Structure 1
């Protein structure tokens, strides 16, 4: 049985208070009267205190902005991808070094890179192979543009590698620079996105050696709620990537999560009482509350997810690994961990882990 041996996380150097990002939004978008009243309400209800970004603009007053310019001119896709390529390798490397503090780079047999906020070729996998001095013949896989659930998809691939060869040590790194894609817009989809997304990186090491300590990977299960396809989407445009995020996404997740959990438990011949911890992707406060209500959980059951949302916001694919890292760090973590993340489709991806 393959195991998650270690997790390392990293954030860019600029930490922004949610109140400062709100002020930036008000200055940058010059909203109409209705939006000017709505924005403070959305930010106050977000459950987020701080978020991280690769640039300082969100804490600066108009006239001092760097990336967006004094008049908040929307950068082109080329400008956004240039900054992505300048920042993504170092941020990934920081997370990887934390993850591999007890493992030699030479032991790594596979590299899986995950991102949905930047695309280029040669990609992050090759850039990291060079930067980390990994073997030129290392087995590389890239998971691109799958959104917030992509870390669990990468874990599926790593688990398959380890089951095929127990000597495998698979390094996964999820790095997202979401704030690159801020849009100067008062459209409700862009406004909702502006309240949530942030930058971060998380790396994890998956080993095929069952004697290694760590989180055992017991099962994966996924479902697509096809009715929600138009409600959560991620598209390229000349002015960056455009997020569609409808406010009834939590309702759709609430309708699906109960039956999905039931199917997961049936496959493993487990019951609800066999779950000790809940690692829920903090896609937003409303999503966490929807899961909490649908599964009859209490706020404390999802405390780690709420904490990650409060301190970091939604870092897309990296976020669920932040949650798992914090659960692993608890001194007396034992038992089964039901892990779930959500993304375009609407896709609900789960993993049952145990420690």
Structure 2
């Protein structure tokens, strides 16, 4: 069985961005018909979200205009193609790979709908081989960045000498619901931003980069109500149950310790936590749990602050930060994300 190495991670951001303080006037305008107490509460959510800045595929003022699902999705399709093309080009240049050397391409997105999926456009745009194997992953939400790594690893471990690109492009902005005054919509508006990431992986003998030692998914029973989207006539409407952080806390030991044990490791041996920043409460919950074990998730917190939660791409931004550090041989990293299902996805890597 061949080993899988993470060769390169690149990120790409949309053209538009605003700091949270500059978004607040838009939020106040949007909520002007709502009662005062509710408006104050929502502003507090934005101010306390631990997100200083976020990027978007459309100007922020356009986000707060009532447009149809079709209009928003058309912007999503147009911009996702651009972001996906740019981030894949960037990753290939970093690794000094030709696009035609890719054997597999996995694309990840859950914030819009396009058929054919993004990978088909990337094949044409970058001149990938006609026999490249495609896998679009569309309905795994925030967990899908790590799901993509798991699928990539499974492709590569049974196929030595191969190369794969994982491209995650998300635009939660395109799912924003103007007429939804639920807490789920308020919280998601306060924490989400848009962005793209690409990871190149290889099972070639001479490949450089951290090695994937193990990967597993963990599916919570009877928890499909915790997170997801309802498809309405106005688009994708956010489902976000307030019980998510406590559910994570409750099952945390089951999610972490047996997985590490099965891969010949333990939490003492894990030097780095590459955790998906779902939002401030989830980050705090996980920080407390890991803090007790003497670990920090500073890079996770920093990615949330700089970009917000970009759904599946976010954990790959955290991974990129670790790829840029000068880490010692033998150091281990635990990648962890949660998403609809409800599920936890884990990957253990070693430098």
TM-score by length of 1: 0.93
Matched, 1:292 2:287: yes
Helix, strand or coil for the counterpart of 1:191? helix
Q: 1:333 to 1:302 in 2, by over 3 A?
A: farther
Contact 1:228-1:252 within 8 A present in 2 as well: no
Structure 2 counterpart of 1:164, from 148, 158, 180: 158
Matched, 1:340 2:298: no
Counterpart for residue 25 of structure 1: 27
Distance 1:293 1:67 in 2: 35
Distance 1:235 1:220 in 2: 30
Unaligned runs of 5+ in 2: none
Superposed CA RMSD: 1.6
Unaligned runs of 5+ in 1: 58-64
Counterpart for residue 54 of structure 2: 51
Helix, strand or coil for the counterpart of 2:225? helix
Contact 1:2-1:210 within 8 A present in 2 as well: no
CA deviation digits over 1:46-68, x for unaligned, max 9?
111000001112xxxxxxx4454
CA deviation digits over 1:260-279, x for unaligned, max 9?
11111210222221000001
Counterpart for residue 41 of structure 2: 38
What is the Cα deviation at residue 317 of structure 1?
A: 0.4
Counterpart for residue 190 of structure 1: 185
Distance 1:333 1:118 in 2: 40
Contact 2:4-2:202 within 8 A present in 1 as well: yes
Distance 2:148 2:71 in 1: 28
Equivalent pairs counted in the alignment come to 344
Q: 1:300 to 1:55 in 2, by over 3 A?
A: farther
Distance 1:214 1:251 in 2: 35
CA deviation digits over 1:166-206, x for unaligned, max 9?
12100110000110111123211111111111100000111
Matched, 1:238 2:240: no
Contact 1:110-1:169 within 8 A present in 2 as well: yes
Distance 1:15 1:188 in 2: 24
Matched, 1:173 2:167: yes
Q: 1:183 to 1:328 in 2, by over 3 A?
A: same
Q: 1:104 to 1:297 in 2, by over 3 A?
A: farther
Distance 2:129 2:267 in 1: 44
CA deviation digits over 1:6-32, x for unaligned, max 9?
011011011111122232122123232
Distance 1:12 1:41 in 2: 26
What is the Cα deviation at residue 162 of structure 1?
A: 1.1
Counterpart for residue 103 of structure 1: 97
Counterpart for residue 60 of structure 1: none
